[in-house]
Structure formats: structure tokens, C-alpha cells
């Protein structure tokens, strides 16, 4: 199950952002809403162990750097942002 707020819809297709190598990747899922109106049961499109953006899917863009709440709690966000800046500076 995933929270409905982790999803967004385009042309009757439901998407989530999976986190792949620290970046947001949009993924189509097939899901059934739960009766509570807050959760989806995912039938297809995600595998056990996949990490998704659980909140604020409407604010995310494809390939955006994602810093997990675990990284924030451990104080790793500065290191991750430094890595991102080095990647950006290295691009032609």
C-alpha cells in the first residue's frame, strides 16, 4: 500500500515518483483505492523494496535530486548537495 498523496494522474494514468540513484523517476502504476480514501493497493508498477516519494508528488519534477528524511535526520544533506553541485559543474 502507498499513500494516495504519493501519486498523481495524467490522462487517467496513475504515477508515482520512484527514487533511483537519488533521483526522481516517474513510474506508471496500476492501483486500487482503499475504502479509507487515503491509500492505494499497488497491483503493478512497483516492486518490493522500491523507494517512492511519499508526499508532495505534485512538487517533484523528473530527475530531481531527492534527499530522504533519513538522510536529513542523519545530517547527510550537505554531503548530498555538494555531490550534486560537483555533478552540475562537471556538465558541459
Cell of 85: 553541485
What pLDDT does residue 11 have?
94
Domain of residue 27 covers 2-66
| pLDDT tens digits, one per residue of 8-49 | 999 999 999 999 988 899 999 999 999 988 999 999 999 999
54 closest CA partner among 36, 70, 43: 70
Into how many domains does the chain fold? Answer: 1
80 in a domain, yes or no? Answer: no
| Spatial separation of the C-alpha atoms in residues 8 and 26, rounded to whole Å | 10
From the CB of residue 6, how many other CB atoms can be counted at a distance below 10 Å? 18
What pLDDT does residue 56 have?
81
What pLDDT does residue 78 have?
63
Question: Which is more confident, 88 or 68?
Answer: 68
11 in a domain, yes or no? Answer: yes
Mean pLDDT value across residues 68-88? 61
| pLDDT tens digits, one per residue of 47-58 | 999 999 988 888
Phi and psi torsions of 78, nearest 5°:
-65, -45
SS3 79: helix
Amino acid at each position: 500500500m502507498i499513500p494516495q498523496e504519493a501519486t498523481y494522474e495524467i490522462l487517467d494514468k496513475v504515477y508515482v515518483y520512484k527514487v533511483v540513484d537519488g533521483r526522481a523517476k516517474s513510474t506508471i502504476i496500476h492501483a486500487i483505492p482503499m475504502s479509507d480514501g487515503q491509500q492505494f493497493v499497488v497491483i503493478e508498477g512497483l516492486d518490493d523494496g522500491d523507494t517512492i516519494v511519499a508526499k508532495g508528488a505534485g512538487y517533484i519534477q523528473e530527475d530531481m535530486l531527492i534527499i530522504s528524511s533519513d538522510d536529513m535526520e542523519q545530517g547527510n544533506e550537505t554531503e548530498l548537495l555538494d555531490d550534486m553541485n560537483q555533478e552540475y559543474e562537471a556538465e558541459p
